[in-house]
Structure 1
Amino acid sequence: MDISAARPIDRFFASYSGDHRNELNQRIHVVAVPAILWSVVALLWCIPVGGTLLRSGIWAALAMFGAWMFYNRLSRRMGLGMLAVFFFCGCLCRLLEMRIGLDNLLWLAIGVFVVAWIAQFIGHKFEGRKPSFLTDLVYLLIGPAWVLAKLYRRMGWRY
């Protein structure tokens, strides 16, 4: 396939895959990228919303909506998958907020964020390549879609 003629999502995935060829690094990413995504949603979930009836979640909802628009423009099918991922992240944040409280959710999110990023950099040490986002920050958004695309391919679904 001529990569210059490919859809933008295919070009992003081809470039991202080029920085993630090592099998161990790929396995680390399959776990760490969703963990980072959830932790970012959870961190945003914990930002107070003063002067409203809403106690939490609005900043996370706005960020998830913005990211979803990016994914949906790249591919409607990927947009639907990421919508499901975001719904799960939001539900998990709400459940944890109710069970352990907002303060503990914040600390959990910080811990997951730090551990997952350490894992990512260990994976890239094995890879021998720098993370893609160091060349273009858009790859911070491509990582979750790349992991989801692996699931799509395993299930025989197109994106």
Structure 2
Amino acid sequence: MGLLNLEEQLTFYAQYHRHKVNVLIHIVCVPLIFWSSLVWAANTGPLLSYDEDSLWRLTPFVPNLSLLSVLFYINYYILLEPVAGALYAPILLYMAYNATNFAADHSDHNVLAGIVHVFSWIAQFIGHGFAEKRSPALKDNISQALLLAPLFVWLEILFSIGYRSGLQKRVKKQNKFFLKLEIGGLHNNDNLGLRSGK
């Protein structure tokens, strides 16, 4: 699966997010998980020169792990989907800015971020267990699931207002195909069980 092949990446991720309730839970919780992680990442403090004469002082940002992580995500998303990635960039940058300020303003920021983080993960596992009725994508490919999740929920929002409807249709079509394969595999396993007398 190509890391820069958007359709393949979305098809993989969409296989684990078919139910509308589960998708909605992820649209809310994935950004919260990402933001809370950025709060923790802000603990590093500046990782690049941040002296009084530093160019960083001309920006609202602190070059900590939170910002550097967001810049990595932005670059990856723009490579995957230039328009959606560029539209998402200001939101991600604001999340890094907000997370850094939150960490600076609240002495108990790690605990508060932890509460948000744990609550959001629990909500997602509930969505997978009760709505989706299957394990989350991270069980099969944790690095890919964590890397793609923020873009996936952003594209879900864009798809809902008509963005790249052709791509959305192709992903849904492939998703239905994989679902049929899964159902067929279950039926075959049931038949094998019957034949073996189980």
Shorter chain as denominator, the TM-score bin is 0.7 to 0.9
Higher mean displacement: 40-49 or 20-29:
40-49
Q: Distance in 1 between matches of 2:33 and 2:10?
A: 19
Q: Tell me if structure 2 keeps the 8 A contact 1:44–1:59.
A: yes
Cα gap change, 1:45 to 1:57, in 2 (>3 Å) = farther
- Per the alignment, residue 120 of structure 1 pairs with 124
Q: Does 1:38 align with 2:35?
A: yes
- Whether 1:142 and 2:148 are equivalent positions in the alignment is yes
Cα deviation, residue 53, structure 1: 4.9
CA contact (8 A) 2:47 2:63 kept: no
Check the 8 A contact 2:39/2:103 in 1, yes or no: no
**What's the counterpart of residue 82 of structure 1?**
88
Q: Assess if the C-alpha contact under 8 Å between 2:67 and 2:97 holds in 1.
A: no
Q: 1:140 to 1:51 in 2, by over 3 A?
A: closer
Is residue 9–residue 74 contact of structure 1 (8 Å, CA) maintained in 2? yes
The one-letter amino acid of 1:11's match is E
- Say whether residues 1:129 and 2:126 are aligned partners: no
Q: 1:87 to 1:117 in 2, by over 3 A?
A: same
Question: What is the alpha-carbon distance in structure 2 between the residues aligned to residue 72 and residue 90 of structure 1?
Answer: 17
Q: Which has the higher contact order (CA 8 A, sep 6+)?
A: 1
Out of 72, 85, 91, the residue aligned to residue 66 of structure 1 is 72
User: Could you list the runs of 5+ residues in structure 1 that have no partner in the other structure?
Assistant: none
**Whole-angstrom distance in 1 between the partners of 2:44 and 2:145:** 24
Query: Cα–Cα, structure 1 residues 27 and 51, in superposed 2: closer, same or farther, change >3 Å?
Result: closer
Map of 2:180 onto structure 1: none
The residue type paired with residue 108 of structure 2 is N
Q: 1:38-97 deviations in whole A, cap 9, x for unaligned?
A: 11111101234589758x660111111112221111111122133122112023224424
Check 1:124–1:62 CA distance in 2 against 1; reply closer, same or farther (3 A cut): same
Measure the CA separation in 2 of the matches of 1:19 and 1:114: 20
- TM (norm. structure 1) is 0.82
TM-score normalised by L of structure 2: 0.67
Aligned residues: 151
